[in-house]
Amino acid sequence: MTEQEVFTEVTEFLLEQDAKSMRQIGDQEYTAYYGYNGRRCAIGCLIPDLHYHDSLEGKGLNTPDVQSAVGIMVDNPAIFSLLEELREVHDNLPVSEWPQAFMSIAVDHNYAMGYELSFISEHYGGQLW
């Protein structure tokens, strides 16, 4: 996958999902690669079911297990960095702020916006707030 393909696939997935991927561990809820109700995070949406296992949870993208599950594309430093940016948006921003954050990433990296971001930009001028 190219950087553009990764950006489009992840942002389209997350905007369609419209919710964070979370899991309960003890008394705390944490973001998760594979969460409740089939939800997935920015990196989890790129992990095929066949390569996912619960032991990936809590490990970062820089670990061999997660890199192996995601696939060879994380060997590309630009894609690795992009995935970290997208993970930060998913994990640390409210869902309502995702479109603006994704549009900022698109502008910063000169990525074309996928359908969901294009719709938001066209119909709301990129300003939902």
pLDDT in tens, 35-50: 999 999 999 999 999 9
pLDDT score at 73: 76
pLDDT interval class at 26 (50, 70, 90): confident
Please say whether the dihedral angle defined by the alpha carbons of residues 24, 25, 29 and 34, taken in this order, is positive or negative. negative
pLDDT score at 118: 72
Q: How far is CA 46 from CA 121, 123, 124, 125, in A?
A: 25, 29, 29, 29
Ordered alpha helix ranges (H), 18-97:
64-70, 77-92
- Choose the weakest-confidence range: 24-28, 38-42, 82-86: 24-28
pLDDT score at 112: 86
Q: How far is CA 18 from CA 41, 104, 129, in A?
A: 11, 18, 16
pLDDT in tens, 48-66: 999 999 999 999 999 999 9
The torsion region of residue 48 among left (phi > 0), alpha (psi -120 to 50) and beta comes to beta
